[in-house]
């Protein structure tokens, strides 16, 4: 049995396959996912699992060099923005319009759907290197 923290087999596989500059997206239950993008659906019910809990789990295994957040998060979900910044204090943040974020999902290795029910709880993680 796997000893590390990410035990979901699909999520673990995607993280293991990522290289420098590849992206992985994590988001709320309502984010539309392009047909060609793999969706790893972890949602069980409303707010289970939460966006932050899933993000913490992914960050335990994925080296992240930059993140992309919706510009709208600043005003529509500042509490979530604060939580993201606390988890990734030394990582560059690039704010983009929510519509661009939805379009950029087509380039992500996968989208991880959570049970989160707060607006704009979405992030694109850009993979870094460990050396």
Domain range annotation of the chain = 9-127
pTM above 0.75, yes or no: yes
20 is catalytic: yes
Considering the segment(s) 9-127 as one domain, its CATH architecture is: 3-Layer(aba) Sandwich (3.40)
* 3 state SS of 16: helix
Q: Are the C-beta atoms of 18 and 125 separated by less than 8 Å?
A: no
- Among the listed residues 16, 20, 65, 103, the single catalytic one is 20
The region, left, alpha or beta by phi > 0 then psi within -120 to 50, assigned to residue 47 is left
Q: Are the C-beta atoms of 111 and 31 separated by less than 8 Å?
A: yes
The binding site for substrate comprises 28, 98, 120-122
pLDDT tens-digit series, residues 48-100: 999 999 999 999 999 999 999 999 999 999 999 999 999 999 999 999 999 99
pLDDT tens-digit series, residues 11-30: 999 999 999 999 999 999 99
Residue 108: its pLDDT value, please?
Answer: 98
Residue 1: its pLDDT value, please?
Answer: 80
Q: How far apart are CA 42 and CA 129, in angstroms?
A: 26
The binding site comprises 28, 98, 120-122
């Amino acid at each position: 049995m796997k000893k590390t923290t990410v035990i979901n087999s699909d999520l673990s596989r995607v993280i293991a396959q990522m290289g420098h500059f590849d992206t992985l997206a994590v988001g709320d239950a309502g984010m539309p996912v392009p047909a060609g993008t793999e969706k790893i659906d972890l949602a069980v019910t409303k707010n289970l699992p939460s966006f932050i809990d899933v993000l913490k789990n992914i960050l335990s295994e994925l080296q992240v060099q930059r993140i992309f957040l919706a510009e709208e998060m600043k005003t529509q979900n500042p509490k979530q923005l604060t939580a993201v910044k606390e988890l990734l204090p030394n990582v560059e943040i690039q704010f983009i319009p929510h519509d661009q974020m939805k379009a950029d999902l087509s380039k992500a290795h996968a989208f991880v759907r959570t049970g989160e029910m707060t607006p704009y709880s979405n992030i694109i993680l850009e993979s870094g290197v460990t050396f």
